[in-house]
Amino acid sequence: MIAMRTFLLSIVAALLLVGVSATAQAQTVPGTWGTRSACDKGDPADMPSIAAEAGFSHCVLNADFTKVGGQFDHVDKFLDGCGATGPRTFQAYYAYTGVPVPCDRVTIEQDGGTQVLHLQYLRGDSASTGAIRPVELAYPTLHHKGGVQSGWPQPASPGTENLPQEMYAEITFRLPLYSLNQGQLGTDIPFAWWQMGGAGEPKVGGIEVDYIEINSDSNFGSGWNNSAGMRDWCTTGTCNKINQPIVTYTDYTVYHTAGVLVTSDLKTNFTKCLFTDGVLDGCQYISPADATGYRTDRTKFFNYAVVWAGNNGGTGGPNYESINPVDAYIESMKIWDCPTYLTTACAGTQSVTSGALTYWR
């Protein structure tokens, strides 16, 4: 993610110089069908029309943290290692380590009169890991013997719960001003949302799909910058790159819903489209340099949706540690996929283009 971030920051700077705005390609996407669909986890949820159009008609997750008395209104109902008496839907680790996040860093609280999930990272929290690592909240996990971090049991596929890379996902969240501004422009990413694979997978090529990487101190009047892309971790030759950047500026101090549609024919490319509050920000695609990048064997390759709170800076030294507390407040997280997502990838067969919107269905 760090290499992609550096590349995209240079693109952002170039775009700012020529006054290019992501809003120029804004396109409203139709709303829900007006019907509610049962979900594997959580209460039934309205199905976004773009998800259904892409073939993602199955509600995988509706983690509604705002519902008092719901399935996600107490941490001990859904978070493994924190007294969970329910299905232990989520796990929380410091990223890329075997160190669980203390339960007082993942809480259900009130924010502006609404019940939300609060993720918190304080300076020095990950010192015991030997590196600077953010809080990672990952789905799915132990309910079907799946796990993200090393040392956790991996899925006994097929028939277990891990996700294809193709899906439609949404998150509604905000961060306070002090978390978004760390005084370290270009080195801090206090909040990220993306896909990652599981531990213990074969060492082959793969596509990393990033949804949101908020760049600290990047608000120059129109909101904080997100310019996350996709990365081809190829096994041989030169890795291919995304066809174009998607650059957005959003006031993340107030709640917004970020949506992402990831589709593929598993032969040509992956296409990713980003939405803010139902409005299309843009789409981009990447073609794996190696066919193993499609990771179609579900017995070997796993995929998870993860939220990171805390700097995505890595091990570069103290300047990469978050200066201010990172407090992320999340109202909901939702995922839709194809009906057979448990055992197969969710490939599309037809490429669709409508204005700036392009995807496989």
Burial of 238 (0-12, 13-18, 19+ CB in 10 A): exposed
For residue 216, give its domain range: 2-360
In the chain, the number of structural domains is: 1
Return the pLDDT at 14. Answer: 38
Least confident of 24-33, 70-79, 109-118, 191-200: 24-33
> What dihedral angle (degrees, nearest 10) is formed by the CA atoms of 83, 86, 89, 91?
10
Token pair for 299 = 């017995």
Start-to-end CA distance of the chain, whole Å, equals 28
Residue 75 gets which letter from DSSP?
Answer: G
Cβ atoms within 10 A of the Cβ of 46, count? 15
- In angstroms, rounded to a whole number, what is the distance separating the alpha carbons of residues 226 and 282? 12
Return the pLDDT at 153. Answer: 46
> In one letter, which amino acid is 93?
Y
Return the pLDDT at 84. Answer: 56
Per DSSP, the three-state class of 58 is strand
Strand partners, 92: 137
Give per-residue pLDDT as tens, 19-66: 333 333 455 554 554 578 899 889 999 999 999 999 999 999 999 999
Return the pLDDT at 349. Answer: 96
Return the pLDDT at 187. Answer: 81
Q: Which parts of 129-286 are beta strand (E)?
A: 135-139, 167-174, 191-196, 206-214, 224-226, 230-233, 248-250, 256-264, 270-276, 279-286
Inform me whether the pLDDT recorded for 173 exceeds 60: yes
pLDDT bracket for residue 9 (50, 70, 90) = very low
Burial of 256 (0-12, 13-18, 19+ CB in 10 A): middle
Give per-residue pLDDT as tens, 306-332: 999 998 765 555 667 889 999 999 999
What integer best gives the mean pLDDT of the chain? 84
* H helix runs in 204-301, sequence order: none
> 261 in the Ramachandran plot: left (φ > 0), alpha (ψ -120 to 50) or beta?
beta
Residue 3 backbone phi and psi in degrees, to 5: -65, -40
Strand partners, 309: 135, 191
Instruction: Give the total residue count for the chain.
Output: 361
CA atoms within 13 A on the CB side of 241: 10
Give per-residue pLDDT as tens, 61-81: 999 999 999 999 999 888 877
* CATH number of the domain bearing residue 58: 2.60.120.200
Per DSSP, the three-state class of 13 is helix
pLDDT bracket for residue 345 (50, 70, 90) = confident
